[in-house]
């Protein structure tokens, strides 16, 4: 499963695995109050 960081319902950055998302959350939480990790929606292939 892939995750993204979310701030006030807005996606920040690209999708990442849970471990990286948690590390980024710790680093950025001092800058953003209300920052959270959410599951990334599945992307459909263009074809």
> For residue range 6-44, what is the model confidence (pLDDT) as tens digits?
988 888 889 999 999 999 989 888 887 888 888 987 764
The pTM assigned to this predicted structure is 0.69
pLDDT value at residue 1: 87
Secondary structure (DSSP) of 26-41: HHHTTT-TTEEEEEPP
pLDDT value at residue 29: 83
- Which residues face 39 on adjacent strands? 3
Of 33, 37, 44, 45, give the one whose Cα is nearest residue 12.
37
- Domain chopping of the chain, boundaries: 3-39
pLDDT above 70: residue 47? no
């Amino acid at each position: 499963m892939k995750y993204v960081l979310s701030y006030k319902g807005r996606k920040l950055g690209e999708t990442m695995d849970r471990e990286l998302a948690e590390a980024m959350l710790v680093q950025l939480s001092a800058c953003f109050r209300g920052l959270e990790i959410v599951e990334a929606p599945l992307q459909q292939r263009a074809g």
